[in-house]
Amino acid sequence: MKFISIQTAVVLAMVFSMSACSMKRPVLYPNKHLDKVGKEAAQADIDECMRLASEHGADSKTGEKVATRTVAGAAIGAATGAAIGAVLGHAGRGAATGAAGGGVGGLMTGLFSSREPDPVFRSFVEKCLQKKGYEPVGWR
């Protein structure tokens, strides 16, 4: 059985992460206020509400979550790889391979799940937008 190299795994992770990095944003119901201010001003208001949420501690610390999942994935992968390697006679190689695979798996899981806004962050942004006259209906 042939395994991919660590360099190949890192490149693949970077390619996939580019599509996963952008956080979801609120979608606004087309009411009179949105019609009055226009889409460009509404996007600026969304940016401002998101900035305020972060400044007031409602951000989700996405980077920390991704790092934690990457480390956890590597640890689980190393343990699994070592166990399989021990049975096959190559515990060290199995641990290294498992750590690389688990780390990439943890990284990818963390990146894709990081698009979802923290519930407190989401609530803060929605309340801010409502106070400005918008009607948020969801996030996309």
The reported pLDDT for the residue numbered 90 is: 72
pLDDT, mean over the chain:
78
Residue 129 has pLDDT above 90, yes or no: yes
Q: What pLDDT digit, counting tens, does each position of 30-56 carry?
A: 999 999 999 999 999 999 999 999 999
Would you place residue 19 in the very low, low, confident or very high pLDDT band (cuts 50, 70, 90)? very low
Q: What single string gives the DSSP state of each residue in 36-67? A: HH-HHHHHHHHHHHHHHHHHTT----HHHHHH
Percent of the chain at pLDDT exceeding 90? 41
Q: Which of 66, 98, 105 is nearest to 80 (CA)?
A: 98
Q: At what angle do helices 6-20 and 91-113 cross, to 10 degrees?
A: 10
Q: Domain coordinates of the chain in residue numbers?
A: 26-60+117-140, 61-116
Residue 111 has pLDDT above 70, yes or no: no
Percent of the chain at pLDDT exceeding 70? 60
Contact 138, 26 (CB under 8 A): yes
Q: Looking at per-residue confidence, does 58 or 107 come out higher? A: 58
